[in-house]
Structure 1
Amino acid sequence: MRIGLGLPVVTAYPPTTQDWEKGAGIAEIATAARVADALGFHHLTCSEHVAVPDEVAAVRGGVYWDPLATFGYLAAITRQIRFATSVLVLGYHHPLEVAKRYGTLDQVSGGRLVLGVGVGSLQEEFELLGAEFDGRGARADDALAAIRSAFPTGTPSHTGPYYSYGGVTVEPHAVQDRVPVWVGGRSGRALRRAVELGDGFSPFALSPDEVATMLSRVETPEGFDVVLPSGPVDPLGDPDGVRSRLDSLQAAGATIVTASIAATGLDHYTDQLDALHSLARAQGAVFSPAAEGPR
């Protein structure tokens, strides 16, 4: 099992945002990324919302750093950690837009992109952006197939029920032959989409038992990743609780865990990262070798 991190600061979700994050910015994000990179954590996440209506923001939060801009900056100051969108809403973008912009990020980062995708659920945002909400699942399936075929080539072509194109040049394109794609969601259909069109399943708002039950109903291909969130963990204050949480996630089928760190400030956050690294390694989690140093 590998361990990644939900980046602090980049998402202000009211139930989980900590006080120290509210006044933090790119300097704190960069420090967290550098430390995680040096320790060999697998990935960092950043979510996407473009325009959240005020009444929705009171519940879901209104601060969402743009993943493309955020990861482009972090790629320049790290060496090995991966960058996972969690998630990019497929209905907000044309497939070639995703292939061009995130293919460029894959080039900039030296092949460290993980494209996390979802169909989206915030109808008001779809309407604000002029995107189709009805039928978004089928449209997302076609978009995902189109993106996958476009990533490894500068001359993509695709023929599908919603998107068709050919005779175009899209450069630069992704440096990875196969950019890992994690499909988000919490339904059986999302899991089937992940198995059929992706490389991993990244569910949310499901218990480990619920995930295990869902996985028991499908046959996953070799190398398929199950990416589960840890919820807030406190390695220094409650190491036994963290060990138990990691064990339960691995038993549910997790091959990768995205950890959220409880902290009172940036220094405490980085100390917690170090403690999580030591604790998880002792339980058999796999980390990359130490990076050569900051760029």
Structure 2
Amino acid sequence: MRLGYFGGNVGGMASPQAVDVARFAESLGYASIWAGEHVVLPKPRREKPPLDPDWPMADPMIQLAYLAAGTQHIRLSTGVVVATQHQPVRLAKQAATLDVLSGGRFMMGLGLGYLDLEFEVLGLPATQKRARFRECVGAMRALWTEDSPVFDGEFVSFSGVDAHPKPSTPGGPPLIMGGYADAGLDDAAKYGSGWYGFGLTPDDTREVVDRITTRLEAEDRDPRMFEIFMTPRARLDGALIKEYEQAGVTELVVSAEALDIDGIKRRLELNSPEAHGVEPAGVGTRYAWEV
């Protein structure tokens, strides 16, 4: 079991002080920092997402590039980028660049998106999201791995091109898939190195892990090489961490929201690996897909 940190508010990520927080989390032995994505938020506030319209949700790729320059070994992950809101060739370039600049520390969390307002203001259709998501993954992989990249899809096509730098990570950044629907778990098992969930109990997590495991085995993939990331809603203690571990979670991604930097640091200390008897991450910490 490892512990990561989900940062999303003004004190944690969308602030010039974000590097200070990231370095502090790294010093405490957190394995990763995660950044979410919403290009806009509804005003007035709606039930979903449960965020105020003035919530400082910065661009996750820019955030993580900023943090990469100020940290040494902590992993950097999107949790998640809405793939269907990005042009795949451009997104592949951003991801490859971040992978290189971070020394291979970037994990790319991907999702479909559910807030139709975002698609509307971006001038994008909120339909055929699954098909566009799959083409995005395929196009990025072609650009990352092929000597002469070619992709011929309904929504994106290219040939006679190349794109450098190639990612420093063989095969490209690990793809961490979000979503609970059957089609989403199918994609996780087929394309992903891991799966990221938010707010599930250990019992609900176990049910999702079982569904993913069945799909991995159908794809002739070893479930031990696939990682499960979860942000819990409940306050952590040793017993709850053990429950999540028994449910198949590889890393718990702690949400440490507070009104200021000092408050976030206190919450990071209270939930640190040492505070919960979890082995701290450090230089050389390896993920299942790297073994």
Structure 2: 5+ residue runs without aligned partners?
A: 286-291
Percent of counterpart pairs with the same letter?
Answer: 28
Q: Is 1:43 paired with 2:32? A: yes
> Which residue of 162, 175, 200 maps to 1:181?
175
> Structure 1 length normalisation: TM-score?
0.82
Structure 1: 5+ residue runs without aligned partners?
A: 11-20, 234-240
Over aligned residues, Cα RMSD in angstroms?
2.6
> For structure 1, which segment, 161-170 or 260-269, has the greater mean C-alpha deviation from structure 2 after superposition?
260-269
- Residue 80 (structure 1) aligns with: 73
- Residue 13 (structure 1) aligns with: none
> For structure 1, which segment, 114-123 or 208-217, has the greater mean C-alpha deviation from structure 2 after superposition?
208-217
Distance 1:248 1:154 in 2: 45
Q: Is 1:103 paired with 2:102? A: no
Q: Give 4+ residue runs of structure 1 displaced > 6 Å after superposition.
A: none
1:80-132 per-residue CA deviation (whole Å, 9 max, x = no partner) reads 11111111111111111111112111111111110000000011111111112
Q: Conserved in 2, the CA contact under 8 Å of 1:188 and 1:214?
A: no
1:132-156 per-residue CA deviation (whole Å, 9 max, x = no partner) reads 2111012111211221232245743
Taking a change above 3 Å as real, the CA distance of residues 156 and 41 of structure 1, as seen in their structure-2 partners, is farther
Residue type at the aligned position of 2:233: G
Residue type at the aligned position of 2:94: R
> Which residue of 205, 212, 226 maps to 1:224?
226
> Structure 2 length normalisation: TM-score?
0.83
Report 1:15-54 matches (<5 A). 21=11, 26-54=15-43
Distance 1:286 1:167 in 2: 46
Q: Conserved in 1, the CA contact under 8 Å of 2:193 and 2:226?
A: yes
- Residue 164 (structure 1) aligns with: 157
> For structure 1, which segment, 249-258 or 144-153, has the greater mean C-alpha deviation from structure 2 after superposition?
144-153
Q: Conserved in 2, the CA contact under 8 Å of 1:44 and 1:83?
A: yes
Q: Conserved in 2, the CA contact under 8 Å of 1:47 and 1:86?
A: yes
- Residue 59 (structure 2) aligns with: 66
Q: Conserved in 2, the CA contact under 8 Å of 1:185 and 1:204?
A: no
Q: Is 1:5 paired with 2:5? A: yes
Distance 2:284 2:132 in 1: 41
Q: Is 1:266 paired with 2:261? A: yes
- Residue 278 (structure 1) aligns with: 274
Distance 1:169 1:255 in 2: 36
Distance 2:42 2:262 in 1: 34
Residue type at the aligned position of 1:249: Y
- Residue 238 (structure 1) aligns with: none
